[in-house]
Amino acid sequence: MIVDSVDVLTLAREAAAVGANMLASARPSTVRLKGDRDYVTDLDLEIERTVRGYLAAATPSFSFLGEESAGYDSDSEYRWVLDPIDGTSNFVHGIPLCAVSLALLHGDKTVVASIVAPFLGQAFHASKGGGSYANDEQIFASGAREISSAMVSIGDYAVGQDAPGKNLERLKVTAALAGQAERVRMLGAASLDLAWLAQGRTDACVILANKPWDTAAGVLLAREAGAVINDTRGAPHSLSALTTVGCASAELALSMVDLLTLN
């Protein structure tokens, strides 16, 4: 995809790879709390600074939103959105389920996505209307139609303010899925929840949150692979949605709405 004479898909892939190489070659020397049981490392900050600078050099008119940043220019037509380490707690504990997740938004729509999970040896990318790819091979959602045959990943339990109340809802959803799905998994990285849905490794994901740095890239990746992405009420997912529910087929999406609204 060419925007302002810049191949933004190639740029996104290069920038995410820069961050992923940093992630793969270092260990955090400083780990601190930024909230209740919510960690940030020196490497999160270093990756964000480096990737932001890389993107700014090529697209100076684009704004930038990173998980560790202080905000963005909402008047900019194009916005880069970055999670420098999605799955920071996994990374801190040496669990390989973590990734650099980068999206380019035009208005409120993602047009380019790149997710790189260096410890898994996987690099995902997508562009609007251009399909989804893992390590340069096109990928597709599984097409699973029944919850009983679906591998479903769920998002992390809540931490921070109002965590007990939020986790009552999450526990109800977990219990409902445990009673109907083939298996339930918690990966601890929203980008991989959506990337693995796109790849057909899982058949659905339920994330009871919707932070743009967590979901903007993965939602495009999953949709371009044929998955249906809604909120828990069954409305088409958008940046303003409160929740993120991905399913490998329209039939499964309908069943998932029934399950989530009845529990």
User: Which residues, in sequence order, are CB contacts of 219 under 8 Å at separation 6+?
Assistant: 110, 194, 229, 237, 244, 246
- Alpha carbon of residue 196 to chain centroid: 10
Cα–Cα separations (whole angstroms), residue 130 to 121, 134, 139, 186, 235: 22, 13, 12, 29, 24
Find residue 66's DSSP bridge partners: 82
Domains of the chain plus CATH, in order, are 2-138 (3.30.540.10), 147-261 (3.40.190.80)
Q: Comparing 71 with 167, which gets the higher pLDDT?
A: 167
User: d(Cα 131, Cα 158) in Å, to the nearest integer?
Assistant: 32
pLDDT at 147 over 60: yes
User: d(Cα 126, Cα 102) in Å, to the nearest integer?
Assistant: 11
pLDDT at 32 over 60: no
Per-residue pLDDT tens digits for 69-124: 755 555 689 999 999 999 988 998 899 999 999 999 999 999 999 999 999 999 99
Cα–Cα separations (whole angstroms), residue 263 to 166, 172, 173, 258: 14, 6, 7, 9
Per-residue pLDDT tens digits for 169-207: 999 999 999 999 999 999 999 999 999 999 999 999 999
Number of H helices, E strands in the chain: 7, 16
User: d(Cα 210, Cα 229) in Å, to the nearest integer?
Assistant: 12
pLDDT confidence of residue 30: 57
Mean pLDDT of the chain: 91
DSSP, residue by residue, 105-169: EETTEEEEEEEEEGGGTEEEEEETTS-EEETTEE--------GGG-EEEEPPPP-STTHHHHHHH
Task: Give buried/exposed letters for 37-76 (b at 16+ CB in 10 A, else e).
Answer: eebbbebbbbbbebbbebbeeebeebbbbbbbbeebeeee
pTM of the model: 0.92
